[in-house]
Structure 1
């Protein structure tokens, strides 16, 4: 049995890049002290998320994947795998992206595919879900609204991912806000998606999220680690901090799939649903 310590952050990030790196450094130090091999930072950890969802406010700073900003994150990661969201510049095009790094450099990049509300006013959309090999095993990455679509996580699981990291800037409901954030209906959805995606794919699910507020948005926090049976192993609730769990990833995934293998027992021939169906 080989256990890994996995950590997911609930933290606030804004436009002040130096302050973002200071916060990231503190989180890496905390996670490393507890033996973490993986730290998942939220969506838009490098420069903050959108200040509103109407496309009216200036966008986050954008960085190329080869930029000194990403290289700095990799140096800070050292012997850990760190994932973080950022605004990626690809020529004139901007993507809401996530990067996985370690001391050796960039391991993988994911561009957010599913765009909620008016996010497409700022970002172009990604078009694929691809797992990748890392020092802690085969992984996949999603960003926020991606997890609302079962096909996203399923594609990564079918590509061999045993750990899926989902980085979010998931806000509370704006149309029917709850007085207590723990009772917010969007918080409930956030948590349900985390458990459902882990269970249906029988993977270890690591979910980070923004906390606090930025611009007009109030975030629901809820960073967590979920086992392949859908059981929550660690959770920050509505607070800031780290959700940390010690997990035998390969053993728990194998155990979950031994009898009821959700990937093995699929019947793709029976799923003839037109892509345009609504």
Structure 2
């Protein structure tokens, strides 16, 4: 595996329940990423629909999810670029003929094939009336043209256990599509720090890289600062963010030097420790 991988994160002001417009915007940005030599392009969570589950059109659009996924597969094959098309809301039949919705991230390879998918496990409180979690399904890593990868979604970032399970399965890079806004903080939180959610992201992303000797590709939505954070970034242990966006719309392409991960692991020996038979924290880890 090449030690340096060129990856792109894409953020823009996602239009609510405007799947066709958002899809066109996403495809244009993916083409730009490919033209800049990116081997992977990552989009934000809810990139087709926005986070408006109370709008009846939101559920209707979820019925078209397969069409958009197939379009991204064709584009990835055409451009020979891997794509994580943020998350796509999918409509499924649940128990007793009920309808349930999954918030799903896919990893599409540069030949158009789907290498893996992940359904959001840790669902943010306002989402819970609308989405179904992946529950007790394991967090699993998988091999890709850019290395061994794991995927999480948004609020999963808050759970170290998710990362531990992924790196126990050999993940070197964790990809996190996100729709994280300033409104995720309560008035009481904001009274202590108006920028509390930005601080959460800045500190936690770097901490997760250090404590897991992994790289993170984090892709968020953006828009007016009162409603959106942006801050999409590529982050590594030892050095922190190697490329970071503010609130601007657009694409950021960065070269991930994966040799940093080896140096960090040689120093901290996190992966070595959790593979020991006498590892003293009881997690549901898969050993590789």
TM exceeds 0.5?
Answer: yes
Q: C-alpha separation between the residues in 1 aligned to 2:26 and 2:172?
A: 25
User: Would the aligned equivalents of 1:7 and 1:38 in 2 still touch at CA under 8 Å?
Assistant: yes
User: Would the aligned equivalents of 2:106 and 2:114 in 1 still touch at CA under 8 Å?
Assistant: yes
- Give the structure 2 partner of residue 227 of structure 1: 236
What is the Cα-based RMSD across aligned positions, in Å? Answer: 2.4
- Give the structure 1 partner of residue 106 of structure 2: 99
- Give the structure 2 partner of residue 6 of structure 1: 7
**Aligned with residue 236 of structure 1, among 241, 245, 264:** 245
Q: Does structure 1 residue 208 correspond to structure 2 residue 219? A: yes
- Give the structure 2 partner of residue 62 of structure 1: 62
User: Would the aligned equivalents of 2:230 and 2:248 in 1 still touch at CA under 8 Å?
Assistant: yes
- Give the structure 2 partner of residue 265 of structure 1: 273
Q: Mind listing any 5+ residue stretches in structure 2 that lack a counterpart?
A: 94-98, 284-288
- Give the structure 1 partner of residue 73 of structure 2: 74
**Aligned with residue 43 of structure 2, among 41, 44, 47:** 41
1:164-175, aligned counterparts within 5 Å?
Answer: 164-173=174-183, 175=186
Closer, same or farther: CA 69–42 of 1 in aligned 2, 3 Å: same
1:106-125, aligned counterparts within 5 Å?
Answer: 106-125=114-133
Indicate the larger mover: 138-147 or 18-27. Answer: 18-27
User: Would the aligned equivalents of 1:71 and 1:105 in 2 still touch at CA under 8 Å?
Assistant: no
Q: C-alpha separation between the residues in 2 aligned to 1:6 and 1:228?
A: 17
User: Would the aligned equivalents of 1:224 and 1:232 in 2 still touch at CA under 8 Å?
Assistant: yes
- Give the structure 2 partner of residue 276 of structure 1: none
Task: Classify the secondary structure of the residue corresponding to 1:205.
Answer: strand
TM-score, normalised by the number of residues in structure 1 = 0.86
More helix per residue: 2
**Aligned with residue 151 of structure 1, among 145, 161, 166:** 161
How far residue 240 of structure 1 moved from its aligned partner, in angstroms, is 2.0
Deviations 1:138-197, CA, capped at 9 Å, x for gaps: 11110000010001111111111111100100010353497xxx9621111022221111
State how many pairs are aligned.
262
Q: C-alpha separation between the residues in 2 aligned to 1:184 and 1:271?
A: 34
Closer, same or farther: CA 199–63 of 1 in aligned 2, 3 Å: farther
How far residue 64 of structure 1 moved from its aligned partner, in angstroms, is 7.3
Task: Classify the secondary structure of the residue corresponding to 1:259.
Answer: helix
TM-score, normalised by the number of residues in structure 2 = 0.83
Q: Mind listing any 5+ residue stretches in structure 1 that lack a counterpart?
A: 274-278
User: Would the aligned equivalents of 2:233 and 2:241 in 1 still touch at CA under 8 Å?
Assistant: yes
1:237-256, aligned counterparts within 5 Å?
Answer: 237-249=246-258, 251-256=259-264
User: Would the aligned equivalents of 2:181 and 2:197 in 1 still touch at CA under 8 Å?
Assistant: yes
